[in-house]
Amino acid sequence: MRQLQLLLVLAQELHFGRAAQRLYISQPALSRQIRRLEEQWGIPLLERSTRQVRLTAAGRALLPRVRDAVAAGDALREAVREQERAAVGRVVLGCYVTALPVITALVERVQKQLPGREVVLREVDFVEQFRALLAGELDAALCYGPVPPGVQSLQLATERVVVCLADRHPLACRMSVTLAELAEVPVVGLSPDVPEGWRAFWAADPRPDGAPVAYTGHTATTFEGSLAAVVQGNGLRLVSAGCRELFPRPGVRYVDVADAPPCAALLAWAAPRRDTPGVVALRRAAGELAGRGAAAGGPDALWWLGIPPVERSRNQEPVFKDHQVVDHR
């Protein structure tokens, strides 16, 4: 079935490089799988040249059946997963950090809607956040956009984007910088398995003035992994403003980026799972939380507290330390 899925994407793109990017695999691995499929069936499916890829007559004739088989297989797997979840009564939510008040609030709301259902929290990295969604391993994920094709989302909040720099960097003492001022500092590289659109957004690539973006040779998949490279003075990372509270670390500074577009905190799910009970409950719970803070408007770096800004302003602002919320009242 996996080879049929690869063939279907390749037939849509007619380009090994673009198809490999969509599938989050290397181009040689994609080519090998297609060759194996052709060997198993005993017929050529593609005409290959240095300039283009085309379906053979046999490939074109079989494509509708391949499409039907993939759709049937996806439907069967989804039905099996839904039966498994129903049998054990689980809703699986992915997130970068599990110990957040907003996640506790989501869990409580889901459990009220689905009594007896266990909500399982699974920490995910920059690759798994979308791959696990599309593979049906998660009901939904709490993450940052943009999302890849096949994933739908509900916006919970927006945040300003800040730059994470080594504290010894000359720009680290500034209150604010521009993207042009960061042009000479390479961005800590992320794994090629991270969706291309997500990698580009979090590197501000391309820059507003068209300046090229340089990357380090790292292949980070987590914030902590990229933070280690920043501490060593190897580059910068653009991150959400909430990281100031969530990831305070010796040796780094977070500086506002005046002209960076805001980022969006999302509840995301695979499109085919939109109307399953677990996703419906999570969407409803997330909508309640997002709606409570909507009246304040504007970026909110502390949305993860699960408390509307108007309520937080009545008391001294909480701070986040050692994965606990401490309210100084």
Tell me: cis bond preceding 146? Omega within 30 of 0 counts. yes
Give the model's pLDDT for residue 86. 56
Instruction: Indicate whether 276 pLDDT > 50.
Output: yes
Instruction: Indicate whether 313 pLDDT > 50.
Output: no
Nearest C-alpha neighbor of 114 from the set 281, 285, 287 = 281
Percent of the chain whose predicted confidence (pLDDT) is above 90: 46
Lowest mean pLDDT among 20-24, 86-90, 164-168: 86-90
Give the model's pLDDT for residue 281. 94
Domains of the chain by range and CATH?
A: 2-83 (1.10.10.10), 89-157+264-326 (3.40.190.10), 161-261 (3.40.190.10)
Q: What's the mean pLDDT in 246-265?
A: 93
User: Whole-angstrom Cα distance, residue 128 to residue 138?
Assistant: 10
* Contact by Cβ (8 Å): 26, 20: yes
Give the model's pLDDT for residue 301. 65
Give the model's pLDDT for residue 294. 43
> What is the per-residue pLDDT across 147-157, written as a single tens digit (0 to 9) for each?
999 999 999 98
> What is the per-residue pLDDT across 317-327, written as a single tens digit (0 to 9) for each?
433 333 233 33
User: Whole-angstrom Cα distance, residue 257 to residue 266?
Assistant: 21
* More confident: 267 or 299: 267
* More confident: 264 or 318: 264
Side-chain half-sphere of 304: how many Cα atoms within 13 Å?
Answer: 26
* Contact by Cβ (8 Å): 320, 245: yes
